[in-house]
Chains A and B, each alone.
Chain A
């Protein structure tokens, strides 16, 4: 059973995907300085009505194994400790211990 933070991240990814075009359209109107202030203000207020999990900043890459949100090595999608365990087991192709 994945932890709550992983579920939250899945929810955020789905929400962002579903609302991306509408959000970007409102953002385009709100940031357009050639438009009247009233129109821009309304667009900005509309932006605020979107939920928390429609914002792309709420998406965070997490470890596939443990769900840890920090120290994730993006190439493998694993947190640093899971990366070490798997590398030592030889489960990551080509990765081995180095010394110099």
Chain B
């Protein structure tokens, strides 16, 4: 019994998402001949397709590796099966465990958060980004107690609350551009009612700190007259001069 349960909780293999096509048989077999479905003059080349849609998804070799460059983009894309979103996403193994991004999600509604973190995890899986699991961060609960009446009657009060549920996903090892794609995809498909805060860590050349400080100093030197504290100081000195002249 214990053996079985450990098998179920195992992280699914990438092959779990691929279906091996049986030659001569379509997965959703409604029309048996292309003539029935598309008319007798059907040819996939005429539609601008490079592959015959009836042969998709392509069978993948048993020792399939998503990072294998021998597999073409088309072959890889055609191996994806619709409906895999109902299962947990495949988690790519980390290569170096270097954190590259951390996304925080926050919402008032747990269901929306669960949906969107599931979506984000699947997107990361499809882009080949190794991610940690969805971590639950502490829920922020704000309480208000106000009198029920507009005036007096302090003894009759009412309580209100607002909960902010939070989740976090960490990404590792992926290239910065891939992470940017992932974030852009999540932003374009953002879910109403779910906020997102993205932190990314980039690799920068040595000595960037000094360069930044130098630039900041230059900027502050050129903008010194514009800041409010400097304006106050300047005006104050003028006042002192004038008063001392009058005295």
User: Interface on A for B, CB 8 Å cutoff?
Assistant: 20-22, 24-26, 28-29, 35-36, 38-39, 42-43, 46, 73, 80-81, 83-84, 87, 92-100
In the complex, how many angstroms separate the beta carbon of A96 from the nearest chain B beta carbon?
7
User: Interface on B for A, CB 8 Å cutoff?
Assistant: 108, 143-144, 146-150, 158-164, 228, 231-233, 235-236, 238-240, 243-244, 246-247
Could you tell me if A98 and B143 are in contact, using CB atoms closer than 8 angstroms? yes
A-B contact count (CB 8 A): 75
When chains A and B are docked, how far (Å) is the Cα of A96 from the Cα of B233?
49
What are 22 A-B contacts with C-beta separation under 8 Å? A24-B232, A25-B235, A25-B236, A29-B236, A29-B239, A38-B247, A46-B239, A81-B147, A81-B150, A84-B146, A84-B148, A84-B158, A84-B160, A87-B160, A92-B162, A93-B108, A95-B144, A95-B161, A95-B162, A97-B159, A97-B160, A98-B143
Measured between beta carbons, the chain A residues less than 8 angstroms from B244 are 36, 39
Most chain A CB within 10 A, of B162, B233, B244, is at B162
When chains A and B are docked, how far (Å) is the Cα of A33 from the Cα of B34?
95
Measured between beta carbons, the chain A residues less than 8 angstroms from B163 are 94
Could you tell me if B247 and A36 are in contact, using CB atoms closer than 8 angstroms? yes
When chains A and B are docked, how far (Å) is the Cα of A12 from the Cα of B147?
30
Could you tell me if B108 and A94 are in contact, using CB atoms closer than 8 angstroms? yes
Asked, given contacts A28-B233, A93-B108, whether A38 binds B243 with beta carbons under 8 Å apart, the answer is: yes
Could you tell me if A21 and B231 are in contact, using CB atoms closer than 8 angstroms? yes
Interface of chain B: mostly helix, strand, loop or mixed: mixed
In the complex, how many angstroms separate the beta carbon of A39 from the nearest chain B beta carbon?
4
Measured between beta carbons, the chain B residues less than 8 angstroms from A73 are 144
When chains A and B are docked, how far (Å) is the Cα of A12 from the Cα of B156?
36
Could you tell me if A28 and B147 are in contact, using CB atoms closer than 8 angstroms? no
Could you tell me if A43 and B243 are in contact, using CB atoms closer than 8 angstroms? yes
Closest-by-CB residue of B relative to A93 is B108
B149, B162, B240, B246: which contacts A35 (Cβ < 8 A)? B240
In the complex, how many angstroms separate the beta carbon of B62 from the nearest chain A beta carbon?
50
In the complex, how many angstroms separate the beta carbon of A70 from the nearest chain B beta carbon?
11
When chains A and B are docked, how far (Å) is the Cα of A35 from the Cα of B239?
12
When chains A and B are docked, how far (Å) is the Cα of A4 from the Cα of B243?
40
A25, A29, A38, A80: which contacts B146 (Cβ < 8 A)? A80
Measured between beta carbons, the chain B residues less than 8 angstroms from A99 are 159
Measured between beta carbons, the chain A residues less than 8 angstroms from B161 are 95-98
Measured between beta carbons, the chain A residues less than 8 angstroms from B240 are 29, 35, 39
In the complex, how many angstroms separate the beta carbon of A77 from the nearest chain B beta carbon?
14
Q: A25-B236, A83-B146 are in contact. List 6 more A-B contacts (CB 8 A).
A: A20-B228, A25-B239, A36-B244, A36-B247, A38-B247, A98-B161
